Amino acid sequence: MSSPPPYYNTVFVGSTRFIYSDGIFLQPQGNSYIVVVPPIGATVSYLPEGCNPITQDGDQYFDCSGIIYQPYFQDGEIVFQVVYVSQELISEGARENQFSSHHPSGLVLENSEFPP
């Protein structure tokens, strides 16, 4: 895609910049933007439509098509942090070559407790 979506938020994970829009994470590549695997630790202000609430070990999460977000308060507002990305989503993206292979999350599942 040659430009970011009309409505997006800029999200940083460490010093790496991402564009977030309705559950999709993008990064600039040359003169365009590519879809990348959601980075573990990314914090967003809203979730895409269709997420399902889940509870594990008494904690609330949201499953958004294989991307698990945990809500928490930041500066008095509820925000959502990516805590898990399903292996199926990563594999599917790699097969379709839609995810960057140089993703800073290292394409690893960082929370072996999931899926619930």
Say if 101 falls within a structural domain: no
Say if 115 falls within a structural domain: no
Say if 105 falls within a structural domain: no
Task: Determine if the peptide bond prior to 115 is cis (ω within 30°).
Answer: yes
Above pLDDT 70, what percent of the chain? Answer: 77
Query: By residue range, what is the domain housing residue 59?
Result: 9-95
DSSP 6: S
Say if 112 falls within a structural domain: no
Say if 116 falls within a structural domain: no
How many domains is the chain partitioned into structurally?
1
**pTM attached to this predicted model:** 0.77
Say if 35 falls within a structural domain: yes
Burial 40-55 (b: 16+ CB within 10 A, else e): bebbbeeebeebeeee
Q: What is the pLDDT of residues 2-59, one digit of tens each?
A: 777 888 999 999 999 999 999 999 998 888 888 889 999 999 999 999 999 999 989 9
On whether the CB atoms of residues 80 and 22 are closer than 8 A, the answer is no
Euclidean distance between CA atoms 25 and 37, whole angstroms: 7
